[in-house]
A and B are shown apart, each in its own frame.
Chain A
Amino acid sequence: MIHQLANPTRFLKLARPLTPILFYCGLILVLGACGWGILFSPDEKLLGNTVKFIYIHVPFAWLAIGGWTGIAIASIAQLVWRHPLASVAARAIAPIGAIFAALCIITGSLWAKPTWGTWWVWDGRLTSVLVLFFLYLGYIALANASSEKGQISRVTAVYGVIGAVNIPIINRSVVWWESLHQKASITLTGSSIDSTYLLPLFISVLGFTLIFTAIVFMRMRAALANIKIEARMRRMAEDTHEIGS
């Protein structure tokens, strides 16, 4: 299955019709969930109406973390199996993951000011997410510097794997260290979020995930098209050179 999808032609055949479907389904879900959540969900006991930040902050955080997890998996696939699509996928994810990490920090900060009484504190969770944002920037710089024929270097892939160390740290930061950020509400054993908030939250997370995937597919398709153009230009240059000589 994975080997079949790793073939760029097969991937493109699938991704071309999937991209608009994922994008518009995601958009409808996000607008529906956020509209419903922001207009109709009741004030929280202590937070009041700032509880509504949950519908955007949680999906941003989830995809910022999910993005790097994707980069790490793709990097391992590139290093071990030399999948031709792996590095294209990792590179397509990076800037979107960075934007989602930034949005996660910004929405969190806007929520924190009226809730905690401060925009920012250097506790374990906030600091580790800021580190994630900088890891993304480093990845983007490294991937751009090492670009060759649309592929990225092994150094970049190794960096993608090493950076994944931060993912369990973000997840456990509120458990290992006392932090101002609340602990996980949704765990394997259940949720401490009332169902009036939980349902729109779940739909919003799903919607943003579909949009994220659609943008990754768009970027992968653009990258593959670029590789094709580069190859064709090179061939044309060689041809004209032969004619000229």
Chain B
Amino acid sequence: MVTSVWNEIYVEESIKNHPRVESILRKVQKAPLFIESFDEIWGRSKKTYLQKRDTLNLFLARKHGQLLKLAPDAYGSAGEPHYYFIHAYNCIYECQYCYLQGYFNTPDIVLFINHEEIIQEMEKVLLSHSGRVWFHAGEFSDSLALTHLTGELELYHEFCQKHPEAIIELRTKSVNTRELEKLSPLPNFIISFSLSPEEMARRVDLKTPSTQGRLKAMDKLNQLGFKIAAHFDPIIYEDQFKIRYQELLDQMNRLKINEKLAYLSLGVVRFTKDVYREAERNYPDSVIHSGPMVKSFDGKVRYHRPMRMWIMNTIKELAIQAKVKPESIYLCMEDHA
């Protein structure tokens, strides 16, 4: 008997014969339940974040309404427009600081299958700008973790081939690079990995591949010629943080990753008030609560400003010493970034 990671699988009636849906269902090997629209069940009443541990449902649906979302200022490298494209809701991983625990009413995963429509929307956005435009995947879901099921990477890759002025960032903690490896590297198709020192990742990035695993995946993609980037985000304070980041950067340097990084973003752990409350409830003993948190300039809960700046300046300095190009480092979500 095949055991499934999914508690139940729901499919919208209108897409049940879509080839992408059929392909996913073949791979998951579990009989689906058909419904009219995913939101008649998904998120209708509060399902707590930790219920994903034992009753995670999968929904296959068509995304209506907003397919792209303008990213806030200071989200990515400055001076260019940044958008997220919404191809999924929620994530199979369980990071203790994840904002998704307070963002949606449920941790159940929705995979949207109308990628062609998302790409059409991206093309429209491109026409409305004269220069480069960034499109990020991974804001509401890890962008690689389920690609062996979903099979959409090829479409976004084609889009990048056709539009050199568009840059796609696939943001991930996954080592699931199998589908990616079937594609050719492109300068505007960037795979960015969120990294933390090994021990910290073990404590807070639950159910994710280890930092070592992520570095291996980065190394492999780097060697294949893919454009790679890194996010040290969120940085969580521990007394030994300088040594830990030094070790991480040294490892990256030994793999010759640092000099190739398209960018390295630095961001200190932060929460909206609601997410902070959820994280306290879900992970009362987590190291994320051990620092001096205050309500900051934008209402988010973070370490106080001198501490954030001290941490980020320290790590920035270490990164430069470890051969990361200074101009490729930016501070994420700071008012003075």
Partners in one complex: no
